[in-house]
Amino acid sequence: MAAVQRDLTRRLQEAGLASPLPEARALLMHVLHLDWTGLVLASGRAVTPDERDALEDLLRRRVRGVPLQHLLGEVEWGGVTLRVTGAALVPRPETEVLLDLTLAVLEGRPGAALLDVGTGTGALALAVAAARPDVRVTASDVSVDALRLARVNAERLGLDVSFLHSDLLAGVAGRFAVIVSNPPYLPDADRASATPEVRHDPDLALYGGPDGLTLVRVLMRQAPACLERGGCVLLELDPRNVHVLAAELAGSGWRTEVRADLTGRDRFLLATLAAEGHTT
């Protein structure tokens, strides 16, 4: 087993992958149905021909750019295990900061109503529901396939979340204390330079018009009608356009705060409607 792990690591490294050893271990654990401790304890055992074939198949696909999470079929994110497929974006580590900001905003708001717009795998909605069972969580997406996957994830986790098929906030009834969204925010031109891994995410999840802000501008125009008094919107955006949107919102009755991601790049926007801007 140790030799197989070394060989996998070397071939992943030669293919230019950034984390060859953790990926080699992840593939081995997946094929051998072992956890981390099991893998360590099994270091002396031989790999069967079937297991070797399965590893070769996964390695070939990984080297061609299939995301590791698609090969493993699931990802640990925000304290929950999510099934991932090509139907929705693989949840990103930086979005865990958006989750933390959301949980911070929910502190002191027992029983609050929260809407996750563009839920994808259900990541944000389900992680909030797991951390705060008192919060009434609704998750929406325009993609029927993504919604189907998010429902599967909710069932697997046994979490109580309402799902809504909706184009942004069109037709959304009721008001929410918190609206959170990691919308498609990349400028369309980024499509040309997307890595093979990113090309496995649906375009619908990634691109947000010429400057990346087309969808989020619509969302923010719709938001006042869906927010409770004192409610707020939390957004993940591209560091290239977060201040552009913050300036636009400041000019239209929103108070905004920009927050950085773990690499120090401004990426998140917290927007609160000034009292006089609230629609009743």
Binding site for ligand SAM (CB under 6 A): 88-89, 91, 95, 117-121, 123-124, 140-143, 146, 167-168, 182-184, 204-205, 215
Name the minimum Å distance from CB 182 to ligand SAM: 4
- The secondary structure element, H or E, covering residue 74 is strand 74-77
CB 84 within 8 A of CB 74: yes
> Which amino acid type is present at position 189?
A
For residues 182 and 94, give the distance between their C-alpha atoms in angstroms, rounded to a whole number.
Answer: 11
Could you tell me the two tokens for 235?
């957004």
Residue 209 assigned ligand-binding role = no
Could you tell me the two tokens for 210?
């010429």
Name the minimum Å distance from CB 125 to ligand SAM: 8
Name the minimum Å distance from CB 51 to ligand SAM: 32
| Cβ atoms within 10 Å of 151's Cβ, excluding its own | 15
Name the minimum Å distance from CB 117 to ligand SAM: 6
Residue 280 assigned ligand-binding role = no
For residues 207 and 244, give the distance between their C-alpha atoms in angstroms, rounded to a whole number.
Answer: 17
For residues 252 and 242, give the distance between their C-alpha atoms in angstroms, rounded to a whole number.
Answer: 16
**Closer to ligand SAM at the Cβ: 32 or 128?**
128
**Closer to ligand SAM at the Cβ: 115 or 271?**
115
Residue 110 assigned ligand-binding role = no
Residue 141 assigned ligand-binding role = yes
**Closer to ligand SAM at the Cβ: 58 or 147?**
147
Could you tell me the two tokens for 32?
């051998």
Residue 120 assigned ligand-binding role = yes
**Closer to ligand SAM at the Cβ: 118 or 224?**
118
Name the minimum Å distance from CB 205 to ligand SAM: 4
**Closer to ligand SAM at the Cβ: 109 or 217?**
217
- The secondary structure element, H or E, covering residue 103 is helix 95-106
Could you tell me the two tokens for 97?
């900061």
**Closer to ligand SAM at the Cβ: 146 or 249?**
146
Residue 67 assigned ligand-binding role = no
Name the minimum Å distance from CB 23 to ligand SAM: 21
For residues 31 and 191, give the distance between their C-alpha atoms in angstroms, rounded to a whole number.
Answer: 33
What's CA 280's distance to the chain center, in Å? 32
| Cβ atoms within 10 Å of 77's Cβ, excluding its own | 22
C-alpha count within 13 angstroms, C-beta hemisphere, residue 266:
12
Residue 224 assigned ligand-binding role = no
| Residues that constitute the known binding site for S-adenosyl-L-methionine | 118-122, 141, 182
Q: Which residues participate in the annotated binding site for substrate?
A: 182-185
Binding residues are 118-122, 141, 182-185
